Structure 1
Amino acid sequence: METRRRGNNRGIEENTMAILDTAGYSIVTQDVNDDRLAFLEAVRSASIVPENGSAPTNTMFEAIFQILKDEDSLELIMASYQLLNELDKGFHLLIQDLAKVADEAKSDASESKLLRNMLLLQYLVRVIEGDLIPRNSAFKENTNWPLLRESLLNMLLGSRKIIYKGLIKDCLSVMCEMSQFHTESSDDMKGPEKASCVLNGYDSAVAIALPEVEKCTCTAIQKLLLMIMDLDASKKIADLQGLTTRADGVRTPAAEIILDELTYNIDSLSPFLQVFDEPKWKLEIILQYFRKYIAKPSLRTRRLSGSADDTTFGGILKSFSDSSSTKSIIKKISGEVAQILLAHAFQAYLSLSSRYSVEGVCGSGEDVQDSSLVEVCKNMIAAFTCLKRTDVHTEILPLGKEALFTAATILATKLKP
C-alpha cells in the first residue's frame, strides 16, 4: 500500500513539472487551467481523502503555492487556497507525531518516520518564514495590518484545524525532549561504543543523519515560536492603533502560553531554557516568570526606598538584595529554580549587551552599556550571596557558578585601574 501511494505521488509530481513550466506565460488556455484544476484534485485525492494519505512532496507544495500566487482564474485561486488550508492540518499533526516519537523507544521504523517528519516540518517552517518576514518588515514601516493578516502563519494559526494552545505546548514538548535526548546520548555513550551500538541497532545512514536533523528541527521549532511571538507583537500594535477588526479574533499571546507551561510543568523549565537561545524573548519570558512571584511594593514604599520596579533585569536582581524579599521569592519558587532563571537571564542580558542599547526589550529602554553592565554584575553576585545566606542548605548549581565566574571576570576587567 505504501509503495502504491509513493507511485501515485510520483505520477502527480510529473504533472507538477508541467504546472511549473507553464507558469508565467502571457496567454493561458482553458486546457492549461483544466490541467491545473485536475492537478489540485489529484493532490487532494492522494493526500487528504485517504485516511492515511501521503504528504505532498516539496515540488507539489511549490506548485500549489505558485498557482495561488500567479493565477487570475477565480476558480483556481479559490481551489489552491482551499487546498492549502486543508493541508495545514499536516502541520500540527507533524509536531504531535514528533512529540510522540521523541518520547517513545526508537526503532528502525520510528526513526525513519521521525526523520521524514522532521525534514517536512523544516521545509514548512522555511515556507512560512519566507512569507512572513517581508510582510512583518513592511508592517513595521507602514503598519499595513491587512498585509500581515493575510500571511500564511496568521491564516494557519486562525485555522479551525489547528488547536492553537496545543500547538505551542507540543512545540515546547519537542524542544525539551530533543534537548534531553542529546544530553543523555552524549553522556551515556561515547566513541566506538556509541558507534558500534548505532551501527548494530539501526540503519547506519538514518542513525548518522538523525542527530543533525534533530538539531535543525529544534532550531526550526524555535524559529516558529519566535515568528508567532513577533506576529503577536505586531498584532498588539495593530490592536492599539485600531487597525484590527472582530474578524481577526482573539488569540492568547504565545509568550503567555509558554510562561504558563513552564510555571506548571517545572521539569520543562531547564531543558527549554537550554535550547531556547534568542536573548530578547528569553529575557522577557524569564522576567515575566519572576513578576508572577515578586510582590510589588506600594508606590509610597518605592519612593521612600528608591527600589527599582520589576520591568528590567536590574530591577529583578535588586529584589534579591535582602533576606526578607529573597525568602519570600524562594517560598514560591525553589532556590534551584531561582538560580536557573537568574543564570539564564544573565546569559541573555550579556548577549544583548553586545548591542549596547536594547530599547523596547522587556517594555523598557533598559541600558546595557558598560556602566549598567558593571552594576548588573555586582547585583548578580549579591543576589547569589543572598540566596546562599537565606538558605544555608542551598547548593550553587554548576550553571550558577558559571554565571558568577563570568560576572566576577567582567568586574575585574571593567574596574581594573
Structure 2
Amino acid sequence: METRRRGNGGIEENTMAILDLSGFSKDNQHVNDDRIAFLEAVRSACIVPENGIPPTNKMFQAIFQILRDEKSLDLIMASYQLLDELDKRFPRVSISETEKSLELAVVKEAWSPFIFGLDVARGEREEADKKSGGSLDASAFLILIQDLAIVADETKIEAIETKFLSNMLLFQYLVSVLEGDFLPRNSVFTETMNWILLRESLLNMLLVSRRISYKGLVKDCLSVMCEICHVHDGFSHDMRCPENSSMELLKSCDTALAIALPEVEKCTCMAVQKLLLMTMELDFSKKKADTQGLTTRADGVRTPVVEIILDELTYNRDILSSFLQAFNEPKWKLKIIVQYFWKYIAKPSVRTRRSNGSTDDTTFDGLLKCFSNGNSTKNITKKIGPEVTQLLLAHGFQAFLSLSSEDSVEGISDPNEEVKGGSLVEICKYIISAFTRLRRTDEHMEILPCGKAALFTAASILSTKS
C-alpha cells in the first residue's frame, strides 16, 4: 500500500496546484489544458495498467471538483467518465464469499462524494464545502435535484446550457455511488438479515437526514422524470421547444452540447428511476427487518416511497402518462398500478393479520377480476375515469408480459408471482374481458392506442396458445 502511495506522489503533488485558480480565469485555456493533463495522468496511473494504482482521496476530490465546477464540456465529460471508471475499478463496497456465507467488504477510509452529519447553515455551506473536500451533504443533493426539476420545466432554449448538462452528469454519478454502496449491502442483508448493514448505507443516511424534505425529494424526482423524459415508445427526445427550434439550439449553444444533451437526458431519467427503485428496495428490506424486530426507534418511521408516488399520481394526473412511459421496471411498475386501482376499489370489511401475505388484491389477476361485471367496472371508471383506466390496464399488461418473459428480476427481493398472480393465458383473457366491459359500460368510449395494442397482443397470444 505504501508503494502505491509513493507511485501516486507525483500526481498528488500537482493536484492542489491544478485546482488553485487564484490569479486565473476559470475559462483560461492553460488551466483547462493542465486539468486535462491531470485527468489523463490519473487514468494512465490507475486505469490503464492491469495492476493500476488506487487513486488517493485528494485525487478523487480533485476530479470531483472538476466535474462540479467546470464549464468546459470536454472537462465535464472527461471527469465524469474517469470517476465512473475509477469506482468500477476500485469499489468502496463489495461482497466477499466465504464457505459459510456472504460477507461485506467496506473500504472505510475511501473518499466519498457524500458527507452526512455536517450541520451547517445555508450561509456557511461554502466553508463547509472546503472542509468536506467538496463532498455534498443531503441538502446539497436535494438542491441539485430541485435545480434539475426547475430547468427541465423551462420551455426557453436559453435554459439549455452547459451547467444543466453538468448537473445531470453530477446527479448520475451520485446515484451510481449510492447504487454501488446499496446493492452489495442489500444482497448481504437478504442472506444474513443484518439490518445494520443497510442502516449504515449511504442511501439510508441520505433519506433519514433532517436536512431534507424526504417527500419533497421524491416529488422532485418525479418532476425530473416526467419533464425531462418526454417519451413515446421508449426514450425519444423532445426538446419541448417550438418548431424549427433545432436550428435555434445549434445557434444558441455549442454544437457538441446540442448533440450530447439528448443522451445525457436519457441517462438522467434512468438514474432517477434507479434512485426510486433503490428506495423501494430499502423500504421492502426495512419492512422485513421491522417484522423480525431488528429495527429500533432510532431508525424512525418513513412513508414508503410507493405511497408517496401513488399520492402524487392521484392528485396530479397530468404526469401519470409520462410516469408510466418513463418508469419501465416491470415488478414495481405493476405493484404501483395494482395499488393505484385499489385506492378506488372497495375492500373487504374483514381483514386479519394473516392476510398480510400474498392475497388476491395484491396481484394483477386479482385486480382484473374486479372488471368481471358491469357494476364494478362502472364504479371503477366513474372514480378513475375511462382514459386513466385504459392507461393503467395497458401498462399493467405490458409490465406483466415483461415479468413473464423473465425467470428472475435482478435486485428484486421477492418472487414475481406475488404480484403477477395468474398465468399468461388467464391474464390475456382477463384483459380482453376488461376492455369489453369498459366498452359495454360506455358505448361512446374510444379505445386508446395503448388499449388497442394491449388487446391485439392479448388476442395474438391466445391464438398461439389455442
TM-score normalised over the length of structure 2 = 0.69
Deviation at 1:147, TM superposition (A): 1.1
Match of 1:172 in 2: 222
Name the CA shift for 1:136/1:81 in 2 (closer, same or farther; >3 Å): farther
Match of 1:213 in 2: 264
Residues 115 and 210 in structure 1, CA contact (< 8 A), matched pair in contact too: yes
Between 1:221-230 and 1:85-94, the stretch displaced more is 85-94
Residues 185 and 198 in structure 2, CA contact (< 8 A), matched pair in contact too: yes
1:231 to 270, 274, 282: 282
Secondary structure (helix, strand or coil) at the match of 1:236 reads: helix
Counterparts of 1:258 and 1:362 in 2: how far apart (Å)? 21
The AA in structure 2 aligned to 1:224 is: L
Q: Please state which structure has a larger fraction of its residues in helix.
A: 1
The AA in structure 1 aligned to 2:321 is: S
Q: Deviations over 1:231-252 (max 9, x none)?
A: 1111111111111111111111
Deviation at 1:86, TM superposition (A): 5.3
1:159 to 206, 209, 212: 209
Asked if 1:185 corresponds to 2:235, the answer is no
Asked if 1:266 corresponds to 2:320, the answer is no
Residues 339 and 400 in structure 1, CA contact (< 8 A), matched pair in contact too: yes
Counterparts of 2:386 and 2:192 in 1: how far apart (Å)? 46
Residues 356 and 367 in structure 1, CA contact (< 8 A), matched pair in contact too: no
The 5 Å alignment of 1:13-162 reads: 69=107, 71=109, 87-108=137-158, 110-162=160-212
Match of 1:52 in 2: none
The AA in structure 2 aligned to 1:364 is: E
Asked if 1:395 corresponds to 2:464, the answer is no
The AA in structure 1 aligned to 2:334 is: L
Q: Deviations over 1:189-224 (max 9, x none)?
A: 89xx66534423432111110000000000011001
Counterparts of 2:242 and 2:323 in 1: how far apart (Å)? 23
Secondary structure (helix, strand or coil) at the match of 2:270 reads: helix
Q: Deviations over 1:303-336 (max 9, x none)?
A: xxxxx94221111111111110011111111010
Residues 148 and 168 in structure 2, CA contact (< 8 A), matched pair in contact too: yes
Counterparts of 2:241 and 2:160 in 1: how far apart (Å)? 21
Match of 2:374 in 1: 323
Name the CA shift for 1:295/1:227 in 2 (closer, same or farther; >3 Å): same
Counterparts of 1:293 and 1:109 in 2: how far apart (Å)? 40
Counterparts of 2:417 and 2:291 in 1: how far apart (Å)? 15
Name the CA shift for 1:84/1:4 in 2 (closer, same or farther; >3 Å): closer
Between 1:235-244 and 1:354-363, the stretch displaced more is 354-363
Name the CA shift for 1:116/1:365 in 2 (closer, same or farther; >3 Å): closer
Between 1:139-148 and 1:195-204, the stretch displaced more is 195-204
Name the CA shift for 1:184/1:69 in 2 (closer, same or farther; >3 Å): closer
The AA in structure 1 aligned to 2:220 is: D
1:282 to 324, 327, 333: 333
Deviation at 1:413, TM superposition (A): 0.5
Residues 121 and 217 in structure 1, CA contact (< 8 A), matched pair in contact too: yes
In structure 1, list runs of 5 or more residues that go unmatched: 22-34, 49-54, 301-307
Residues 165 and 257 in structure 1, CA contact (< 8 A), matched pair in contact too: yes
Name the CA shift for 1:188/1:169 in 2 (closer, same or farther; >3 Å): closer
Counterparts of 1:199 and 1:121 in 2: how far apart (Å)? 25
Residues 155 and 241 in structure 2, CA contact (< 8 A), matched pair in contact too: no
Residues 156 and 241 in structure 2, CA contact (< 8 A), matched pair in contact too: no
In structure 2, list runs of 5 or more residues that go unmatched: 1-20, 46-55, 70-75, 93-105, 119-129, 352-358
How much identity, in percent, do the aligned residues show?
57
Counterparts of 2:275 and 2:175 in 1: how far apart (Å)? 6
Secondary structure (helix, strand or coil) at the match of 1:310 reads: helix
Residues 270 and 340 in structure 1, CA contact (< 8 A), matched pair in contact too: yes
Deviation at 1:380, TM superposition (A): 0.4
Q: Deviations over 1:56-87 (max 9, x none)?
A: x7689989x98x94549xxxx99999668753
Counterparts of 1:229 and 1:84 in 2: how far apart (Å)? 29
Match of 2:306 in 1: 255
Counterparts of 2:405 and 2:416 in 1: how far apart (Å)? 17
Counterparts of 2:213 and 2:424 in 1: how far apart (Å)? 42
1:380 to 424, 427, 431: 431
Q: Deviations over 1:88-117 (max 9, x none)?
A: 332111110111001113445642121010
Q: Deviations over 1:150-186 (max 9, x none)?
A: 1111111112222111110000011111223776838
The AA in structure 1 aligned to 2:198 is: L
Between 1:90-99 and 1:274-283, the stretch displaced more is 90-99
Name the CA shift for 1:258/1:81 in 2 (closer, same or farther; >3 Å): farther
The AA in structure 2 aligned to 1:393 is: H
Name the CA shift for 1:360/1:129 in 2 (closer, same or farther; >3 Å): closer
Deviation at 1:375, TM superposition (A): 1.0
Match of 2:52 in 1: none
Counterparts of 1:118 and 1:224 in 2: how far apart (Å)? 14
Name the CA shift for 1:270/1:361 in 2 (closer, same or farther; >3 Å): farther
Match of 2:6 in 1: none
Secondary structure (helix, strand or coil) at the match of 1:242 reads: coil
Residues 118 and 213 in structure 1, CA contact (< 8 A), matched pair in contact too: yes
Name the CA shift for 1:236/1:322 in 2 (closer, same or farther; >3 Å): same
